[in-house]
Structure 1
């Protein structure tokens, strides 16, 4: 960790700069196809000509080799016939994405979501600021590819917010993030699979008078304009994307930020206690807040670290490119272990971080490229307990 800024020392106060930034500052930051997609078709990449097999209902696909985006005429026609958001299909954005691996095909801003799978991916770089981050856009690229290639998410149903977007409505401001979260859950129905991903700075602040936090602190995420417009608290995230979840709707959140353990304010956390993995209650003693319940659906969150910890960035995984440690390892593990369970994924995340810590090279080369000691324990939380050892991811 850089010497210029130090993390919060005690729980009675917080220091406003916590996930590692690239200038040395620290900022208080189964290969799967749905049962509905059992029919397959062959699709050739328009750039590298590589052929691959995709579900028939997928209208577009990002090549895992060159990152080019291909459009299937039959798949697109099927989307139109099924009224799954064809009018929100942005041809220009698809063309741009096919020629630029860092471009994204985000849906046109609308009050109506598209399809039964949709996602909001948010990477905040805080460019031109002393607490800037360089790995967040790479994290979003990684997560976008993972959803498309491993979980059959249609590209046009993924909304991407980064500071590189040309559309001002897709810049990760407080207003745009909140509006995108509302879009994510609007008119959700049984069978929907939703994803919220955030890579950026996370902080804590004194909890409001609801006293719904065990440690007395609210967890927050930081939009690009948080200094002026304010942070987004766990209470607001919970009320926006957790409470509205109807029966049969499943939300996955992945938060790669400091102090992110209970960013969704979910009722149960799965963690080690005296060496044993088990579900633990996340409610303050003697209370059962209504705000931590869904409307019948399920919310599950993977967080980069516990509430009291910091999350790390590194260039160790991809040469000069920065990545969030949790995002990189999570995507790598999922790609390498088809049909992985929730428990196995969490345990492998802990194992891989522990291996880095134990490495004889960590005190030298790895210490320099990680910027600081990695002392983060990824956390799984959920709106309801489930059998993490048998349930397959997503």
Structure 2
């Protein structure tokens, strides 16, 4: 089983194969070794009990909702989103509550506050020790951003980012690091779904393929987003699919205009859950089509000049209208 440790320099969590003695941090690039006292194994979040059936192995999820209270750009619906998503995973997809690690800025447990350090630990925990038939979910509701990329490995020359609660001092979480932590380690037979309700989130997992839709909202083709350098952005044999709130150049809105109860929520999260609850969740294509229809017809963000088109990216090509959706 792999080992989860802290970087000697910046204390970022790092997942290492068994027997590893030296490593280079993906964030600060410093070289460390597992014999150092500062590289002691991380003991939290706790490993959940296995929830299994004849088909599924273990189910684990990390759910993050950030309001950025008392900060510029404070949001309203992200904790509601996180709670709704957790409820759906438990009651619709049979996740054990103890296998869900949730971070929000209303938590009092310091381990569950969505700082950059805690989010990186949670991401590493999610994939640590995963094996064939495991089903993993990474959900984020909060701010997303983008920054210039100078390495030439981005189609639009921008890196996409997620903003932790302390991004003002610790900086964002960049798509390259998200890919390194939760995508590349996945072994054969493991399936990870990322559900990202944030601005500029279309390719925030840095997956190699983007599902393109035509003007009617139907599947058109898979667009290749593999790095020009040829560097691999796929898994170690596992399967990753990301459903995100908008294209890389767009914004994901936080609104109370969609629900009848006028409860603040992310437009993407609301549309995703509505698609599942309304029986439109049979395939990935039906979910994406339903989400786009809900946002464009009920919310009409284009009326205020902000178009929002949920996106689907993947580590491999597949037929979005025949591939069954399941978590």
Q: TM-score range by the shorter chain?
A: 0.7 to 0.9
Tell whether 2:100 aligns with 1:158: yes
Q: Is the 8 A contact 2:245 2:268 kept in 1?
A: yes
TM-score under structure 2 normalisation? 0.79
Q: Distance in 2 between matches of 1:347 and 1:170?
A: 34
Tell whether 2:323 aligns with 1:391: yes
Match of 2:254 in 1: 313
What are the Cα deviations for residues 141-164 of structure 1, in whole angstroms up to 9, with x where unaligned? 110011111110000000000011
Partner of 1:255: helix, strand, or coil? strand
Match of 1:252 in 2: 193
Single out whichever of 309-318 and 297-306 deviates more from structure 2. Answer: 309-318
Q: Is the 8 A contact 2:291 2:310 kept in 1?
A: yes
Q: CA deviation at 1:171?
A: 0.1
Q: Distance in 1 between matches of 2:118 and 2:260?
A: 30
Match of 1:382 in 2: 314
Match of 2:81 in 1: 139
Tell whether 2:280 aligns with 1:345: no
Q: Distance in 1 between matches of 2:70 and 2:176?
A: 30
Q: Distance in 2 between matches of 1:331 and 1:135?
A: 14
Tell whether 2:44 aligns with 1:109: yes
Which of residues 129, 133, 139 in structure 2 aligns to 1:187? 129
Which of residues 215, 220, 224 in structure 1 aligns to 2:156? 215
Q: CA deviation at 1:111?
A: 5.9
Which of residues 93, 103, 120 in structure 2 aligns to 1:178? 120
Q: CA deviation at 1:132?
A: 0.7
Match of 2:278 in 1: 336
Q: Is the 8 A contact 2:210 2:313 kept in 1?
A: yes
What are the Cα deviations for residues 216-241 of structure 1, in whole angstroms up to 9, with x where unaligned? 10000000000100100000000000
Tell whether 2:62 aligns with 1:120: yes
Tell whether 2:255 aligns with 1:323: no
Q: CA deviation at 1:356?
A: 2.6
Tell whether 2:175 aligns with 1:240: no
Distance change in 2, residues 1:156/1:174 (3 Å): same
Greater percentage in helix = 1
Distance change in 2, residues 1:170/1:279 (3 Å): same
Q: Is the 8 A contact 2:208 2:314 kept in 1?
A: yes
Partner of 1:393: helix, strand, or coil? coil
What are the Cα deviations for residues 259-303 of structure 1, in whole angstroms up to 9, with x where unaligned? 00000000111122566622211125x54321x110000000001
Q: Distance in 2 between matches of 1:228 and 1:339?
A: 40
Work out the number of aligned pairs and report it.
274
RMSD: 1.9
Partner of 1:196: helix, strand, or coil? strand
Distance change in 2, residues 1:263/1:164 (3 Å): same
Structure number with larger C-alpha Rg: 1
Q: Distance in 1 between matches of 2:281 and 2:256?
A: 28
TM-score under structure 1 normalisation? 0.66
Distance change in 2, residues 1:185/1:280 (3 Å): same
Partner of 1:151: helix, strand, or coil? coil
Unaligned runs of 5+ in 2: 1-42, 51-57
Q: Is the 8 A contact 1:169 1:176 kept in 2?
A: yes
Q: Is the 8 A contact 1:312 1:324 kept in 2?
A: yes
Distance change in 2, residues 1:270/1:172 (3 Å): same
Single out whichever of 270-279 and 299-308 deviates more from structure 2. Answer: 270-279
Q: Is the 8 A contact 1:310 1:376 kept in 2?
A: yes
Please list every run of at least 4 consecutive aligned residues from structure 1 whose deviation after the TM superposition is greater than 3 angstroms.
Answer: 110-114, 273-276
Q: Distance in 2 between matches of 1:293 and 1:228?
A: 31
Q: CA deviation at 1:207?
A: 1.3
Q: CA deviation at 1:353?
A: 1.7
Q: Is the 8 A contact 1:256 1:303 kept in 2?
A: yes
Unaligned runs of 5+ in 1: 1-107
